[in-house]
Chain A
Amino acid sequence: MEIILSLAIGIITASGVWLLFRPRTFQLAIGLSLLSYAINLFILAMGRLKMDAPPVVDKVAEANPAAFADPVPQALVLTAIVISFATTALLLVLLLAARGLTGTDHVDGTEKTP
């Protein structure tokens, strides 16, 4: 489980970073989205991996913290997902505006030949 998750985070991050360094605005948007997925997984992992454990403490049963998953990272991930969704949407609008105004989808707004 741990190795699968860490591999997944690593591969997604690597792809995201690679895309981030590409010159097209669409690649930038996808790169940032991939990175945000990787980081959401990372936050979840920081609350320790636990199978079949509820995050909500049962009132009736004896409260044994070891039997429950940490609820805080889950709450953090939810917030982070919402925020990154909103900023990605904003970025997409900006990409379209930049494409319309500059006539190119290069991140610098001009096509430069190396």
Chain B
Amino acid sequence: MSPADHLVIAPILLPLLAAAFMLVLSERRRWLKRLISLATLSALAGVAIALLTMVDAPGGAPLAYRLGNWPAPFAITLVVDRLSALMLLLSASIGLCTLFYALARWDRAGPRFHPLFLLLTMGVNGAFLTGDLFNLFVFFEVMLAASYGLALHGSGVERTKASLHYVAINIATSLLFLIGIALIYAVTGTLNMADLAVRVPVLAGQELVLLESGAAILSIAFFVKAGMWPLGFWLTPTYAAAAAPVAATFAIMSKVGIYAIVRLSALAFGPASGLAAGFANEWLMAGGLATMAFGAIGMLAASRLSGIGGSYILLSSGTLLVATGTGSAPVLAGALLYLVSSTLGVCAMYLLIEPVERAADIDREAAQRQSEPVFEDDEPGLLMEEYEAEEEEDEIGIVIPATIALLGSAFIFCALLMAGLPPLSGFIAKFAIIDGMLSGLPAMGTGGWTAIAAILLSGLATLIAMTRAGISLLWVPVDRPQAHLRVVEAMPIALLLALCLALVIGAGPVTRYMKDTAAALHDPGRYAGAVLDPALQPPERRR
């Protein structure tokens, strides 16, 4: 193994080590912690780019990393293919931007923000990298455990109430996850996803029924994460109650659910899977459409920006589920671009909420929301004092005369991105999805038309909701106090929007990459060939 091959495990190891090291540092050494966090996340972005170029090289196969060098499928395997590398890069970019934003003040609202943040990143990265179902569960749990801590960050009654529901739902969901895994193991005798791709096509009869029940129960766990209607009612209140940078980071978590569904439906239930092929596609389609409707209505009904953001996450999950449900490669290519651009867009939107509402002077009660800390910790008093002192300082800030203009343009940018209007990446993504659907229409029937109509109408709903919010927050307040925007807060938003702009400018290569990714997903044999040990594969594999 060359040293470059060990890069595969870096997205898990780096945040784990950094977080473990930070636990022994006192809360007073804030700058050291900030530097470590920033350095780790920058390194993660670098690693993700390196991995992406490695798997995207001409003829580049998925990279498999065997822990302990045990042959697959007997031990733990990490796999990087185009999809994983893309998701790693997305997670690193979002992590870096939200962390930057958190430095403005949120990382002082409670203890141990940085270790939790890095552990969340580790769980998300691990879920993208793992090659077997059980480790997917383990990394889901790592991600969730860190997210419980982060959802409570800043404390307060609202957050505790919302987190209680969030934690209870997710623990129950994890149990369903385990039932699904156990059933799949009972039928196929393997947990390795590449091995599953080899074994599922030969199943028939009762075994097939058991496998499908297992997969259905397993998917409930992913649907809850992705927020599919009617499993997504927890999402909006939790995200609205969480601190701004935390909510922005959570945007990637709902995409982990989508990732797992895309991965499993491609590997185990793709066209090459014999009798199991296309299982649940209609369900994905119907669930996705219902989610889109719920998200669009929620968006129109939302009175605050955080409500719009939460509903938009549901809406984008719905769109992605519908696109996955079509089971066609061109649609999936568009959907992947949509995934990236909508995640970046909603992340920027969550970061924008605070400055915009501060400018409109309606966050007074929101600022008061945080109260005494939940956990007795090292020097909580000190932290809270500093935090409150910082609140006072914020009133001074750096005055940018054109603050409202800046916020306004960022807001319009976000709105265009989320509604999928030209010239931004949201438009290209939606165009690619609809184009793929139109070319595959004969096979899809009425479902295809309904999906196209839903995608267009949901864009309209987004536009209406965002326009209304923009008018009431940015135009209507006339005698507002002088608005303040700190550079640390503005930069990550600008960075996220710049990334979306880069997606448009580089639309050619980006679309090519997404097409290759979707094509590779529809060829599970290649994935399985890269992961499984050829010496252990008899030509005629039988159970």
Considering the complex, give the chain A residue whose CB is closest to the CB of B135.
A79
**Chain B hits for A80, CB < 8 A:** 178
Query: Using a Cβ–Cβ cut-off of 8 Å, how many residues does chain B contribute to the interface with A?
Result: 31
A108-B152 CB under 8 A given contacts A35-B172, A80-B178, A90-B167? no
Let me know if B161 and A42 touch, CB within 8 A. Answer: no
Q: B387 contacts the other chain (Cβ, under 8 Å)?
A: no
A91-B171 CB under 8 A given contacts A79-B138, A101-B160? yes
Let me know if A76 and B134 touch, CB within 8 A. Answer: yes
Let me know if A91 and B167 touch, CB within 8 A. Answer: yes
Let me know if B182 and A46 touch, CB within 8 A. Answer: yes
Say which residue of B157, B160, B175 sits within 8 Å of A39 (CB atoms): B175
**Chain B hits for A79, CB < 8 A:** 134, 138
Let me know if B167 and A76 touch, CB within 8 A. Answer: no
Considering the complex, give the chain A residue whose CB is closest to the CB of B151.
A94
Let me know if B141 and A87 touch, CB within 8 A. Answer: yes
Let me know if A107 and B141 touch, CB within 8 A. Answer: no
**Chain A hits for B145, CB < 8 A:** 86-87, 90
Q: A55 contacts the other chain (Cβ, under 8 Å)?
A: no
A43-B178 CB under 8 A given contacts A32-B168, A83-B138, A94-B167? yes
A102-B191 CB under 8 A given contacts A39-B175, A87-B171, A94-B148? no
**Chain B hits for A35, CB < 8 A:** 172, 175
Considering only residues 109-161 of chain B, those with a C-beta below 8 Å from chain A are: 134, 138, 141, 144-145, 148, 152, 156-157, 160-161
Let me know if A107 and B168 touch, CB within 8 A. Answer: yes
Chain A binding site: helix, strand, loop or mixed by DSSP? helix
Let me know if A76 and B182 touch, CB within 8 A. Answer: yes
Q: B185 contacts the other chain (Cβ, under 8 Å)?
A: yes
A94-B185 CB under 8 A given contacts A43-B178, A87-B145, A87-B174? no
Q: A11 contacts the other chain (Cβ, under 8 Å)?
A: no
**Chain B hits for A10, CB < 8 A:** none
Let me know if B182 and A73 touch, CB within 8 A. Answer: yes
**Chain A hits for B191, CB < 8 A:** 72
Let me know if A97 and B168 touch, CB within 8 A. Answer: no
Q: B93 contacts the other chain (Cβ, under 8 Å)?
A: no
A95-B164 CB under 8 A given contacts A90-B148, A101-B157? yes
Encode contact with A along B311-334: 1 for CB under 8 Å, 0 otherwise: 000000000000000000000000
Considering the complex, give the chain B residue whose CB is closest to the CB of A16.
B175
Give the docked Cα–Cα distance between A95 and B152 (Å): 12
Give the docked Cα–Cα distance between A36 and B152 (Å): 24
Say which residue of B160, B167, B171, B374 sits within 8 Å of A102 (CB atoms): B160
CB distance from A43 to the nearest CB of B (A): 4
Encode contact with B along A11-31: 1 for CB under 8 Å, 0 otherwise: 000000000100001001000
Q: Name the residue among A20, A87, A91 with the largest chain B CB count within 10 angstroms.
A: A87
**Chain B hits for A39, CB < 8 A:** 175, 178-179, 182
**Chain B hits for A108, CB < 8 A:** 161
**Chain B hits for A28, CB < 8 A:** 168
Let me know if B182 and A43 touch, CB within 8 A. Answer: yes
Q: B452 contacts the other chain (Cβ, under 8 Å)?
A: no
**Chain B hits for A83, CB < 8 A:** 138, 141, 174
A94-B163 CB under 8 A given contacts A32-B168, A72-B191, A76-B134? yes
Let me know if B138 and A94 touch, CB within 8 A. Answer: no
CB distance from B147 to the nearest CB of A (A): 11
Give the docked Cα–Cα distance between A4 and B371 (Å): 51
Q: B165 contacts the other chain (Cβ, under 8 Å)?
A: yes
**Chain B hits for A84, CB < 8 A:** 171, 174-175
Interface residues of A (CB under 8 A from B): 20, 25, 28, 32, 35-36, 39, 42-43, 46-47, 72-73, 76, 79-80, 83-84, 86-88, 90-91, 93-95, 97-98, 101-102, 107-109
Given contacts A76-B134, A90-B148, 5 further A-B contacts (CB under 8 A): A36-B175, A83-B174, A87-B171, A97-B374, A101-B374
19 contacts between A and B (CB under 8 A): A32-B171, A39-B182, A42-B179, A42-B182, A43-B182, A76-B181, A83-B141, A87-B144, A87-B174, A91-B171, A93-B374, A93-B375, A94-B163, A97-B374, A101-B157, A101-B374, A102-B157, A107-B164, A109-B157
Interface residues of B (CB under 8 A from A): 134, 138, 141, 144-145, 148, 152, 156-157, 160-161, 163-165, 167-168, 171-172, 174-175, 178-179, 181-183, 185-186, 191, 371, 374-375
Q: Which 4 A-B pairs have the closest CB atoms?
A: A46-B186, A46-B182, A109-B161, A97-B374
